[in-house]
Amino acid sequence: MIIMTNNSPQVEYIPPVYKEKRLRHSKNPDKIGVFLCRCGDNISNIIDMEKLKSSIKADFVAEFENLCSINCRRHIREEIIEHDLDRVAIVACSPLTHLKTFQNYADPLNPHMVEMINLREQCSWVHTDQEKATKKAIEVTRAGIEKLKNAQALDKIIRQTEKSAAIFGGGISGITAALSLANQGIKSCIIEKKPTIGGNMVKIGKVFSPEKLAEECALCILNPIINEVINHKNIHIMTRTNLLRAGRKATHFKLILEKDTGLVHEERCIACGKCAEVCPVEVPDEWNQKMTTRKAIYKTFPQAVPDVYTIDRENCIECGMCAEACKMGAIDFKLKPEVIPFQAGNIIIATGHENYDLNKRPEYGYHRFDDVISQMDLSRILGVNGPTQGELLRISDGKVPDKVVMIQCTGSRDEKADGKRYCSKVCCMIALKHASIIREHYPDTEVVICYTDLRTVGMYENYLRYVQDKGLKLIRGRPGEVSKKDGKLVVRVEDTLEGKPLDIETDMVVLSEAIEPSAGTMRIARKLNVGMNQDLFIKEKHAKIKPVNTDMGRIFVCGTAQGPKDITDSVAQANAAAAKVSEEIESGTEAEPPVAVIETSKCDLCGKCRNICGFKAVYKDEENMAVDPMACRGCGACAGQCPQEAIEIKGINDQELYAQIKALLSDKEEGEIRILAFLDNVGYTAADTIGYNRINYPEAIRIIRIPSINRIMSHHLMYAFNQGADGILMAEYPDECMLEAHKAKIKELTEKIAAEGIPNDRLRFYKAYAPHYRGLNKQFHRFYEDIRAEAKI
């Protein structure tokens, strides 16, 4: 192996794959046309256009004042047809700005036979020495033309996903999303693991309205929506159903569902209730937070949908009394769970949340003292269909409490073991809602809220003042414990505003429990291979601009499956998720190269490509590994991991990379420095911004645009060093999806280059950020100066 220095001869290092394919155009080479743009002197005032033009070897070369003008569109098309051109190079400005424009101008050609060569932002605007800038322009233009010679004509990859959606979760988010899609003519299936739809909203009794400064019946609001859902021709509801397996195609998902029959034929049951009347088994009722009992055969609540009884297998003793009482023959103890194959174009995860297990905070006495309850317990107590028909009564003696103390942040904003460090967002408003109801209907009952910080954003601040006006007492401080003394509960708290400890005697304590991800949310995430955040909620693709997308293409999230939020935000997010599904279905999606393609004849199904892909683009179908082009970003991480070399990156192949590297280094003179900068789209944007701001950097910098540093392999770097590169800078935005692959690539390239005898400081990595273009500029200068100092130039 020969390492290039400024004084060593050039030795061509060509990997075998390049040797095999480099002559593919030699017998019948395509005709190439080159169109030069003066850009209103933006380019021509620094670069000698005549010298540049005379250096170009092509079948057709023409120079224009402004190529992006409407008139030039006609010229480009006419010249392509008249000179029978097969490939076109546009020597002008940044491809980030105008590549699509010129691909449309050259529409007789395949769009991937059009190459843009950036002389404005990365040459004329960043250099002042005309001779050096012109020399660089000649090399950059030659590199672009050589890349163009090796480009592949690619067909458009358009995927029209199936016009259907599977929605996991039948709470307010799932119902809203299904209804939105159904009204757009999209078939939707609500898949719910519980016997009924409605989720947590049907349990909470009342919801608060900050605009009306009032509390409204939750079920009254929800029931019309549920009725609309069950009667909609485009919505199918599957309750008591779980996801067993999920397969993925480019246009749809293949799901295997398991539906528990509940030992009842749904089509026969008329919900008369005679089965429950004769059932001898009574168990705690989850609907009423186990404050009442239900039978082993039951309907969750009177208005439950579907309106069908179900048997609790765990508690049923199979005495057969219910079957005897059923005149419709609906009960059948021989019924088995049904496995159902299901196909859907898109998926929405709306699996909701669970409430924090208050037994993890034994200092508050939950389940130890009867009258220490949760906010959800209080919701059921205050609900007209609850265990006390809406009467505020203590569990211990059935009396109205004289005093109620609410403890906020029980499990939320908690640094202790098993605590949740995040704010659960709705707890303050729930406590205020219940305090308002109590003060309204029981004016003699005192209500005290012990809080850490009251968080009532926006219009909810008005609701806070409204409740305070009813006589609510607020104490800033988190209680340390709840004890019992002389038949009274005692809450020990430090009033942090007054700076003194307090012992508050009370008749009832209400704990505002944290919201945490449900077991169903975590299970679905794992089955669908969807990413979760550190708190185990479904992770959105980008919190700001893609708040309902997941890191898996065509899978969306809404509601509290994504994180704590109130009903208003859940409904808004559900509508947003439905809009994204509709967008996928109605408009179709065109994949932008580069994209990875797997040659199945070489693939041994090792799965390394799937494991490394942070965009979840690689999947296994019935027989082969495959790539979803809609999700693929062409970063090349999969190709780098493939031991069989079965993956090709269409849109930036090896031949294009080698051609650019060689052309950018071929005219290097004695004593000259050459630094190749491989920049991803963010890094390239930062480099363009340097140009926009007319900030100078050394002419030695030669930029090659790549989708990601994962696209660059060690043999690319060795080829560059052997062609005469003095240094290589690799800059990439650290996309969160690919952080592990990014770190692994840096480690791999550093180790392999070191093993070849390349000094460590000749290969550098930089985290690029589009706004921090000055940082990239400093990297260019620092790298150049370090190499110049070492070479004593």
531 closest CA partner among 549, 551, 516, 548: 551
Confidence of residue 23 (pLDDT cuts 50, 70, 90): very low
Q: Which residue has the higher pLDDT, 428 or 631?
A: 428
Please, are residues 581 and 165 in contact by the beta-carbon 8 Å criterion? yes
pLDDT at 741: 83
pLDDT mean over 406-427: 94
- Point out the least confidently predicted range of 92-101, 154-163, 384-393, 687-696: 154-163
Query: Is residue 26 assigned to a domain?
Result: no
pLDDT tens across 616-631, in order? 889 887 788 999 888 8
Judge if 418 and 270 occupy the same domain: no
Query: Is residue 22 assigned to a domain?
Result: no
pLDDT at 793: 56
Q: Which residue has the higher pLDDT, 354 or 544?
A: 354
For the chain, the domain total comes to 6
pLDDT tens across 443-485, in order? 999 999 999 999 998 888 999 999 999 999 999 999 999 999 9
Which structural domain, as residue segments, surrounds residue 634?
A: 590-650
CA distance 462 to 67: 59
Judge if 439 and 558 occupy the same domain: no
Confidence of residue 602 (pLDDT cuts 50, 70, 90): very high
pLDDT mean over 366-377: 96
Query: How much is the mean pLDDT over the chain?
Result: 91
Query: Is residue 8 assigned to a domain?
Result: no
pLDDT at 792: 65
Final residue in a domain of this structure, among 554, 587, 620: 587
Query: Is residue 282 assigned to a domain?
Result: yes
- Point out the least confidently predicted range of 365-374, 402-411, 669-678, 739-748: 739-748
Instruction: Examine the pLDDT at 643 and tell me if it is beyond 60.
Output: yes
Strands 32-37 and 87-92: what pairing? parallel
Q: Using CA of residue 183, residue 187, residue 193, residue 195, what is the dihedral sign?
A: positive
pLDDT tens across 775-790, in order? 999 999 999 999 999 8
Confidence of residue 28 (pLDDT cuts 50, 70, 90): low
**CATH number, position 49:** 3.40.50
The 3-state secondary structure of 496-544 reads CCCCEEEEEEECEEEEEECEEECHHHHHHHHHHCCCECCCCCECEEECC
Q: Which residues contact 785 (CB under 8 A, 6 or more apart)?
A: none
Query: Is residue 7 assigned to a domain?
Result: no
Judge if 524 and 445 occupy the same domain: no
pLDDT tens across 38-48, in order? 999 999 999 99
Judge if 541 and 497 occupy the same domain: no
Q: Across 532-645, where does the E strand assignment appear?
A: 540-542, 546-550, 555-557, 589-591, 595-598, 618-620, 625-627
**CATH number, position 604:** 3.30.70.20
pLDDT tens across 751-768, in order? 999 999 999 899 999 999
CA distance 569 to 426: 11
Query: Is residue 4 assigned to a domain?
Result: no
SS3 52: helix
Judge if 683 and 565 occupy the same domain: no
Please, are residues 430 and 380 in contact by the beta-carbon 8 Å criterion? no
Confidence of residue 74 (pLDDT cuts 50, 70, 90): confident
pLDDT tens across 216-274, in order? 888 889 999 999 999 999 999 999 999 999 988 878 899 999 999 999 999 999 999 99
CA distance 136 to 677: 14
Final residue in a domain of this structure, among 127, 154, 181: 154
253 closest CA partner among 625, 552, 563, 684: 552
pLDDT at 7: 35
Query: Is residue 332 assigned to a domain?
Result: yes
Query: Is residue 13 assigned to a domain?
Result: no
356 closest CA partner among 423, 401, 301, 299: 423
pLDDT tens across 145-187, in order? 999 999 998 887 777 888 999 999 999 999 999 999 999 999 9
pLDDT at 624: 87
DSSP-derived letter for residue 346 is E
Judge if 554 and 676 occupy the same domain: no
Final residue in a domain of this structure, among 650, 669, 684: 650
Task: Classify residue 747 by burial, with Cβ atoms within 10 Å: 0-12, 13-18, 19+.
Answer: exposed
Tokens of residue 389, six digits: 């028909």
Within the chain, how many helices (H) and strands (E) appear?
21, 40
**% of the chain surpassing 70 pLDDT:** 96
Judge if 483 and 603 occupy the same domain: no
**CATH number, position 509:** 3.50.50.60
Q: Using CA of residue 221, residue 223, residue 227, residue 232, what is the dihedral sign?
A: positive
Confidence of residue 719 (pLDDT cuts 50, 70, 90): very high
Q: How far apart are the first and last CA of the chain?
A: 25
Tokens of residue 351, six digits: 């699996």
Q: Which residue has the higher pLDDT, 499 or 141?
A: 141
pLDDT at 250: 76
Please, are residues 207 and 379 in contact by the beta-carbon 8 Å criterion? no
pTM attached to this predicted model: 0.81
pLDDT mean over 572-595: 88
Judge if 450 and 501 occupy the same domain: yes
Judge if 348 and 253 occupy the same domain: yes
Please, are residues 182 and 348 in contact by the beta-carbon 8 Å criterion? no
SS3 89: strand
Judge if 531 and 594 occupy the same domain: no
Judge if 668 and 644 occupy the same domain: no
Task: Classify residue 27 by burial, with Cβ atoms within 10 Å: 0-12, 13-18, 19+.
Answer: exposed
Judge if 101 and 235 occupy the same domain: no
